[in-house]
Structure 1
Amino acid sequence: MNYHLNGSIPREIFKLPSHSWYLDLSYNSLSGPLPNEVGSLVNLNRLTLSGNRLSGKIPDNIQNCLVLEWLSLDNNLFEGSIPQSLKNIKGLGILNLAMNKFSGNIPEALGSIGYMKELYLSHNNLSGFIPLVLQNLTSLTRLDISFNNLQVEVPNEGVFRNITYLAVVGNINLCGGTPQLHLAPCSVSKNTEKIPKSLVISLVTAGAFLFSLSVILLIWTLSKKLRPSKNIFAQNSILDDHYKRIPYNALLRGTNEFSEVNLLGRGGYGAVYKCVLDTEERTLAVKVFNLGQSRYSKSFEAECQSMRRIRHRSLIKIITSCSTVNHQGEEFKALVFEFMPNGNLDGWLHPKSQESTTNNTLSLAQRLAIVVDIVDAVEYLHNYCQPLVIHCDIKPSNILLAEDMSARVGDFGISRILQENTIEGMQTSYSSTGIRGSIGYVAPEYGEGSAASTAGDIYSLGILLLEMFTGRSPIEGTFRDSLDLHRFVEDALQDRTFEIADPTMWLHGGQHDNTTSIRIQECLVSVFRLGISCSKQQPRDRALTRDAAAEMHTIRDTYLKFTGEHGAEREASTREIQNIVE
Structure 2
Amino acid sequence: MYLNDNQLSGPIPESLGRLSKLEMLALQVNHLRGNIPRTIFNLSSLVQIGVEMNELEGTLPSDLGNALPKIQYLILALNHLTGSIPASIANATTMYSIDLSGNNFTGIVPPEIGTLCPNFLLLNGNQLTASRVQDWEFITLLTNCTSLWGVTLQNNRLGGALPNSIANLSEHLQLLDLRFNEISNRIPDGIGNFPKLIKLGLSSNRFTGLIPDNIGRLTMLQFLTLDNNLLSGMMPSSLGNLTQLQHLSVNNNNLDGPLPASLGNLQRLVSATFSNNKLSGPLPGEIFSLSSLSFVLDLSRNQFSSSLPSEVGGLTKLTYLYMHNNKLAGALPDAISSCQSLMELRMDGNSLNSTIPVSISKMRGLELLNLTKNSLTGAIPEELGLMKGLKELYLGHNNLSLQIPETFISMTSLYQLDISFNHLDGQVPTHGVFSNLTGFQFVGNNKLCGGIQELHLPSCQVKSNRRILQIIRKAGILSASVILVCFILVLLVFYLKKRLRPLSSKVEIVASSFMNQMYPRISYSDLAKATNGFTSNNLVGTGRYGSVYKGRMRFKNSVSDVAVKVFDLEQSGSSKSFVAECKALSKIQHRNLVGVITCCSCPNLNQNDFKALVFEFMPYGSLDRWIHPDIDPSSPVKVLTLMQRLNIALDIGAALDCLHNNCQPAIVHCDLKPSNILLGDNMVAHVGDFGLAKIVTDPAGEQLINSKSSVGIMGTIGYVAPEYGEGGQISPYGDVYSFGKVPTHDMFSDGLTLQKYAEMAYPELLIDIVDPRMLSVENAWGEINSVITAVTRLALVCSRRRPTDRLCMREVVAEIQTIRASYVEEINKIVSD
TM-score > 0.5, shorter chain as reference? yes
Match of 2:762 in 1: 493
Pick from 518, 522, 538: which aligns with 2:786? 522
Structure 2 residue 527 is matched with structure 1 residue 262: no
Pick from 783, 790, 798: which aligns with 1:534? 798
The higher radius of gyration belongs to: 2
**Structure 1 runs, 4 residues or longer, greater than 6 Å off:** 3-8, 20-31, 48-55, 76-80, 99-105, 160-163, 353-358
Separation (CA, whole Å) in 1 of partners of 2:389 and 2:651: 23
Separation (CA, whole Å) in 1 of partners of 2:709 and 2:631: 40
Match of 1:344 in 2: 622
Contact 2:625 2:631 in 1 (8 A): no
How many residues are matched? 411
Could you say if the C-alpha distance between residues 7 and 75 of structure 1 is closer, same or farther in structure 2, counting changes exceeding 3 Å?
Answer: farther
Instruction: State the shift of 1:442 in Å.
Output: 0.5
Pick from 640, 644, 648: which aligns with 1:370? 648
Match of 1:320 in 2: 598
Instruction: State the shift of 1:240 in Å.
Output: 5.1
Structure 2 residue 580 is matched with structure 1 residue 285: no
* Superposed counterparts of 1:123-522, under 5 Å: 127-135=473-481, 137=483, 157-159=485-487, 236-239=512-515, 241-277=517-553, 280-293=558-571, 295-352=573-630, 359-419=637-697, 435-463=713-741, 467=742, 474-510=743-779, 512=780, 517-522=781-786
Separation (CA, whole Å) in 1 of partners of 2:818 and 2:734: 23
Separation (CA, whole Å) in 2 of partners of 1:379 and 1:4: 21
Residue 748 of structure 2 aligns to a residue in which SS?
coil
Structure 2 residue 372 is matched with structure 1 residue 14: no
Match of 1:185 in 2: none
Separation (CA, whole Å) in 1 of partners of 2:710 and 2:760: 39
Contact 1:303 1:415 in 2 (8 A): yes
If each structure's helix is expressed as a fraction of its own residues, which one has the higher value? 1
Residue 482 of structure 1 aligns to a residue in which SS?
coil
Structure 1: state its 5+ residue gaps: 60-70, 81-98, 109-125, 138-155, 164-217, 219-231, 468-473, 568-582
Instruction: State the shift of 1:237 in Å.
Output: 2.3
Match of 1:564 in 2: 828
Could you say if the C-alpha distance between residues 324 and 134 of structure 1 is closer, same or farther in structure 2, counting changes exceeding 3 Å?
Answer: farther
Structure 2 residue identity aligned to 1:518: G
Contact 1:271 1:287 in 2 (8 A): yes
Instruction: State the shift of 1:246 in Å.
Output: 2.6
Match of 1:204 in 2: none
Could you say if the C-alpha distance between residues 247 and 27 of structure 1 is closer, same or farther in structure 2, counting changes exceeding 3 Å?
Answer: farther
Residue 562 of structure 2 aligns to a residue in which SS?
strand
Match of 2:809 in 1: 545
Q: TM-score, normalised by structure 1?
A: 0.59
Instruction: State the shift of 1:332 in Å.
Output: 1.1
Could you say if the C-alpha distance between residues 12 and 399 of structure 1 is closer, same or farther in structure 2, counting changes exceeding 3 Å?
Answer: farther
Separation (CA, whole Å) in 2 of partners of 1:410 and 1:526: 27
Separation (CA, whole Å) in 2 of partners of 1:405 and 1:442: 26
Contact 1:358 1:507 in 2 (8 A): no
Could you say if the C-alpha distance between residues 262 and 432 of structure 1 is closer, same or farther in structure 2, counting changes exceeding 3 Å?
Answer: same
Could you say if the C-alpha distance between residues 30 and 360 of structure 1 is closer, same or farther in structure 2, counting changes exceeding 3 Å?
Answer: closer
* Superposed counterparts of 1:87-102, under 5 Å: none
Match of 1:578 in 2: none
Contact 2:523 2:602 in 1 (8 A): no
Contact 1:395 1:461 in 2 (8 A): yes
Residue 724 of structure 2 aligns to a residue in which SS?
helix
Could you say if the C-alpha distance between residues 401 and 51 of structure 1 is closer, same or farther in structure 2, counting changes exceeding 3 Å?
Answer: closer
Instruction: State the shift of 1:128 in Å.
Output: 4.4
Could you say if the C-alpha distance between residues 11 and 407 of structure 1 is closer, same or farther in structure 2, counting changes exceeding 3 Å?
Answer: farther
Contact 2:679 2:685 in 1 (8 A): yes
Separation (CA, whole Å) in 2 of partners of 1:338 and 1:36: 35
Separation (CA, whole Å) in 2 of partners of 1:258 and 1:414: 25
Could you say if the C-alpha distance between residues 27 and 444 of structure 1 is closer, same or farther in structure 2, counting changes exceeding 3 Å?
Answer: farther
For 1:155-203, what per-residue CA distance to the aligned partner results, in whole angstroms no more than 9, with x for missing partners? x72347899xxxxxxxxxxxxxxxxxxxxxxxxxxxxxxxxxxxxxxxx
Structure 2: state its 5+ residue gaps: 1-342, 396-400, 412-423, 428-450, 453-459, 495-507
Instruction: State the shift of 1:499 in Å.
Output: 2.1
Separation (CA, whole Å) in 1 of partners of 2:390 and 2:774: 41
Contact 1:49 1:73 in 2 (8 A): no
Separation (CA, whole Å) in 1 of partners of 2:461 and 2:362: 27
Residue 494 of structure 1 aligns to a residue in which SS?
coil
Structure 2 residue identity aligned to 1:492: A
Instruction: State the shift of 1:27 in Å.
Output: 13
Residue 758 of structure 2 aligns to a residue in which SS?
helix
Separation (CA, whole Å) in 1 of partners of 2:364 and 2:539: 35
Separation (CA, whole Å) in 2 of partners of 1:434 and 1:371: 29
Contact 1:321 1:334 in 2 (8 A): yes
Structure 2 residue identity aligned to 1:302: A
* Superposed counterparts of 1:71-110, under 5 Å: none
Instruction: State the shift of 1:432 in Å.
Output: 5.1
Alignment RMSD (CA, Å)? 4.9
Could you say if the C-alpha distance between residues 535 and 235 of structure 1 is closer, same or farther in structure 2, counting changes exceeding 3 Å?
Answer: closer
Contact 1:364 1:505 in 2 (8 A): yes
Separation (CA, whole Å) in 2 of partners of 1:302 and 1:311: 16
Separation (CA, whole Å) in 1 of partners of 2:753 and 2:580: 32
Instruction: State the shift of 1:506 in Å.
Output: 1.9
Instruction: Give the stretch that moved more between structures: 368-377 or 238-247.
Output: 238-247
Instruction: State the shift of 1:406 in Å.
Output: 1.3
Could you say if the C-alpha distance between residues 416 and 277 of structure 1 is closer, same or farther in structure 2, counting changes exceeding 3 Å?
Answer: same
Residue 357 of structure 2 aligns to a residue in which SS?
helix
Instruction: State the shift of 1:286 in Å.
Output: 0.7
Structure 1 residue identity aligned to 2:801: Q
Residue 508 of structure 1 aligns to a residue in which SS?
coil
Contact 1:78 1:102 in 2 (8 A): no
Residue 246 of structure 1 aligns to a residue in which SS?
coil
Larger RCO, structure (CA 8 Å, separation 6 or more):
1
Q: TM-score, normalised by structure 2?
A: 0.43
If each structure's strand is expressed as a fraction of its own residues, which one has the higher value? 2
Contact 1:459 1:535 in 2 (8 A): yes
Contact 1:302 1:430 in 2 (8 A): no
For 1:538-578, what per-residue CA distance to the aligned partner results, in whole angstroms no more than 9, with x for missing partners? 112112222211111111121122123999xxxxxxxxxxx
Contact 1:49 1:72 in 2 (8 A): no
Separation (CA, whole Å) in 2 of partners of 1:262 and 1:305: 27
Contact 1:390 1:457 in 2 (8 A): yes
Instruction: State the shift of 1:449 in Å.
Output: 0.5
